[in-house]
Structure 1
């Protein structure tokens, strides 16, 4: 019984998505790994904390989408746990709040050890996460999902993880956060493209609905391509090592995803799992990006 319940919570957590937050935090820490100030304990705890926060946001956003009738039996969003009646909305919300609380405890510890700046960054991240779909801001429902995801999963996480180690901000940390922020935004954006008809039915507004399907597709194409262009530019200006060009081996996956969206012609069925495929692209790209920086330290 407990084993089955555990499997339900794993499904509800949507663990496939945690690379979107884990990789930026790892990258921020890796940028400081050679410094005498680097603290491995803080590094590991920061990864645990961001996973707690990310899963909490997954659960709470699923709860909000279910309550607001954004996710229904015929839509593709969420884990489907509440729609199938496997967990109650009350259980899912409670799980999200507990994980939010645990992430908050870790944040308070870091704030005590590293100062007010960490606390400010954490508060910004917590507000962005909780009010992504939560009342009263409902950021996603007002077409602000994409910019919030870019800022949170790009600069905020990388800079925060770097500051945790070094007690200072870095232009390099900001710049290297850009390609990851772009790819993570692409995950959310293609999800919104797929769900346009369901979101419209629920009476909410996303960026894809504001700009129209053609422009929404163009934005997705741009997010993917610009992530690679940004790496090339940073290598050219020696912001990152030439080893980082290894990320380009994932470009065919990006092109394949772009082509799938282009051929879908507005069909939700044709891109039912394109958000997950984009998440896999972000994970592969991010892992190679991190490895390229680590290799540059020893070669």
Structure 2
């Protein structure tokens, strides 16, 4: 019984280190790519879709572990940080590195399986996959793009266009400009979460000697950027709903919550704000997917150009 409790406890520690609550940031873009492949080309392959989900989650989990490892090594994480995996000694650095390597290994094995199952060109699949893998690693590892104010671009591309395009490519065997455009609201949502987090942690990040976009912009410009990221997609959906399909009003159901978040940001009540933005964007993303599902293909913007 004691051995079972130890195993259960250790499993919980490892699972927590993966940050599974963040996985919606990968799964929603994958779902979007799958929905677009069906709406645009009438194609859907369940085994391919499942493998893509496994790849996306594995690379995302590995990226989280790399972030944990290097934030600790560089002194960014403290006892006040959200991630206390290494700070409080729940795992060793070697354990985190090993688990990260396993996750990357799962992702690479998934790519091999996908190359067999998918009709897409192997070089194309590998190109998009390794762009995403590189982004997840170099965000904090290697070049440490997060620490030189380039991390926002990496997150924007990885959790937006790259993931959606990879899914669409795996399911249809081709690229689509429409998939890139449809990915932009999700990419902006993810960047909004990251920017909120960086604004909250600006002082501690500066003390640790790293540079983020929030630090470079300062409080006032960071607030304006936050408002653009928060309300920009909603303005776009209001336009689309009036000109293409009323179903795109669904994502606007979060607008009241968005105004409450904006007031919290303006009042500098930042402690739990990234989590609140993440929750709002999860609902926003789900409603976005539902709006596309409910809209006839002929009424979807850019469909004729896909």
TM-score (structure 1 length as normaliser): 0.91
Instruction: Please give the alpha-carbon distance, in whole angstroms, between the structure 2 residues aligned to 1:194 and 1:211.
Output: 13
**Contact residue 56 and residue 96 of structure 1 kept, 8 A:** yes
User: Match of 2:236, SS?
Assistant: helix
Q: What corresponds to 1:182 in structure 2?
A: 188
CA displacement 1:9-62 (0-9 Å, x = unmatched):
222111111111110111111112254532111112211211111111111101
Q: How many residues align?
A: 289
User: Match of 2:155, SS?
Assistant: helix
Q: What corresponds to 1:252 in structure 2?
A: 256
Instruction: Please give the alpha-carbon distance, in whole angstroms, between the structure 1 residues aligned to 2:163 and 2:236.
Output: 18
Q: What corresponds to 1:120 in structure 2?
A: 127
1:290 aligns with 2:298: no
Residue 72 of structure 1 is aligned with which of 75, 78, 81?
78
Instruction: Please give the alpha-carbon distance, in whole angstroms, between the structure 2 residues aligned to 1:172 and 1:140.
Output: 29
Instruction: Please give the alpha-carbon distance, in whole angstroms, between the structure 1 residues aligned to 2:293 and 2:214.
Output: 37
Instruction: Please give the alpha-carbon distance, in whole angstroms, between the structure 2 residues aligned to 1:48 and 1:210.
Output: 36
User: Match of 1:134, SS?
Assistant: coil
How far 1:236 moved relative to its partner? Answer: 4.5
Q: CA RMSD in A?
A: 1.8
Q: Map residues 205-216 of structure 1 onto 2, 5 A cutoff.
A: 205-216=211-222
1:85 aligns with 2:92: no
Give 5+ residue unaligned stretches, structure 1.
265-269
1:195 aligns with 2:208: no
TM-score (structure 2 length as normaliser): 0.89
State which drifts further: 107-116 or 64-73: 107-116
How far 1:2 moved relative to its partner? Answer: 1.0
Instruction: Please give the alpha-carbon distance, in whole angstroms, between the structure 1 residues aligned to 2:169 and 2:296.
Output: 20
Give 5+ residue unaligned stretches, structure 2.
1-5, 300-306
Q: What corresponds to 1:15 in structure 2?
A: 20
**Contact residue 31 and residue 162 of structure 1 kept, 8 A:** yes
Residue 29 of structure 1 is aligned with which of 10, 13, 34?
34
Instruction: Please give the alpha-carbon distance, in whole angstroms, between the structure 2 residues aligned to 1:84 and 1:45.
Output: 35
Q: What corresponds to 1:267 in structure 2?
A: none
How far 1:232 moved relative to its partner? Answer: 2.6
Cα–Cα, structure 1 residues 182 and 219, in superposed 2: closer, same or farther, change >3 Å?
same
Cα–Cα, structure 1 residues 200 and 188, in superposed 2: closer, same or farther, change >3 Å?
same
Instruction: Please give the alpha-carbon distance, in whole angstroms, between the structure 2 residues aligned to 1:33 and 1:138.
Output: 37
